[in-house]
Amino acid sequence: MHIEMQPEPERFYEKVQEKGEAFLASCPRPKGKEWDSHSYWRAIIPDLYNAYLGICVYTCIWTPFDTGWKTVEHFKPKDRYPQEAYQWNNYRFVCGTMNGRKGDYEDVLDPFKLQDGWFIMHFPSLQLKPGRQLKDEEKESVKKTIKRLKLNESACVRGRKDWLMPYLQKEYGFSFLEKRAPFLAHELRRQELIDPDHRMWAAFGK
């Protein structure tokens, strides 16, 4: 789903950008392990987490602060775009699994530029699909993103189901689901499936 880029946190320049620019002045094209002692972006992981409310921008599911694997994802890969390595607008908050899958690939759609409706969720399978109204080229971009990030593999589907089932069992309300799994909640609303007693859910999870 579309994610609004949040404002740069206080002292970002001091903590990250200033140090990064000094490093790049002495090493303009760092590669691999050359980044290790200069990964200043790690200092603002808590700020990034808070800015995006702990929601991984690729799974659209909440990552616990204490036990979740929280990472700064460089949307433009730092090995290819070193000049963007210390820029706030190049950072995406993602779980570690999605960061590893995205890697240096550039065929993943940017959540900051993504339009609502490009991805839809099929119920009851919880599989992601391209929106029906998209042009062929746009559908291909959505399919490539799903494939690259493995968003329809069993673990990701289970993640959605693990948030949906307690909601259907009325363990918490819709507003809480919106905070923890916003895309899932968005699709339930869009497809008029919010009611836990809807006939769609009669055999779901059995």
DSSP 63-121: --TTTS-EEEEESS-TTT-GGGTT-GGGEEEEEHHHHHHHTT---SPPTTTPPTTSEEE
**Model-level pTM?**
0.93
Using alpha carbons, list the distances in angstroms from residue 3 to 43, 119, 175.
Answer: 22, 13, 18
Q: What b/e sequence results for 25-40 when a residue is b if at least 16 CB atoms lie within 10 Å of its CB, and e otherwise?
A: eeeeebeeeebeebeb
Structure tokens at 107: 């065929």
pLDDT at 206: 59
Query: What sign has the CA pseudo-torsion 164, 169, 174, 175?
Result: negative
pLDDT tens, the chain, 206 aa long = 899 999 999 999 999 999 999 999 999 999 989 999 999 999 999 999 999 999 999 999 999 988 778 899 999 999 999 999 999 999 999 999 999 999 999 999 999 999 989 999 999 999 999 999 999 999 999 999 999 999 999 999 999 999 999 999 999 999 999 999 999 999 999 999 999 999 999 878 65
Whole-angstrom distance, CA of residue 36 vs CA of residue 24: 13
**Cβ 138 vs Cβ 107: under 8 Å:** no
Return all residues near 203 (Cβ < 8 A) that are at least 6 apart: none
